[in-house]
Amino acid sequence: MKNFIAASLIAADFWSLSKEFKKLENTKVKWIHYDIMDGHFVPNISVGSCELNSFIKKSNIEVDIHFMVTNPDIIVPNFIKMFKSRKLKNITVHAETCKNVKKLSKITRKNNIKFGLAISPESSIKKIINNIEYIDLALVMTVKPGFAGQDIINNCINKVKNLSNFFDKNNINIPIQVDGGIKLKNISLLSDAGANIFVSGTGIFKTNNYKVTVDNMMKIINK
Binding site for Zn ion (CB under 5 A): 35, 66, 179
Minimum CB separation from ligand DX5 for residue 170, in Å?
27
Q: In terms of Cα–Cα distance, which of 21, 1, 2, 3 is closest to 12?
A: 21
Minimum CB separation from Zn ion for residue 36, in Å?
9
Residue 202 contacts which entry, Zn ion, ligand DX5, none (Cβ below 5-8 A, type-dependent):
ligand DX5
Interatomic CA distance for residues 202 and 157, integer angstroms: 19
User: What are the catalytic residues?
Assistant: 35, 179
Minimum CB separation from Zn ion for residue 66, in Å?
4
Q: Which is nearer to ligand DX5, 35 or 38 (CB)?
A: 35
Q: Which is nearer to ligand DX5, 146 or 175 (CB)?
A: 146
Q: Which residues bind ligand DX5 (CB under 6 A)?
A: 8, 10-11, 33, 35, 66, 143, 145-146, 148-150, 179-182, 199-203
Q: Which is nearer to ligand DX5, 49 or 165 (CB)?
A: 49
Residue 20's φ and ψ, nearest 5 degrees, are -60, -45
Degrees (nearest 5) of the Cα angle 153, 155, 156?
70
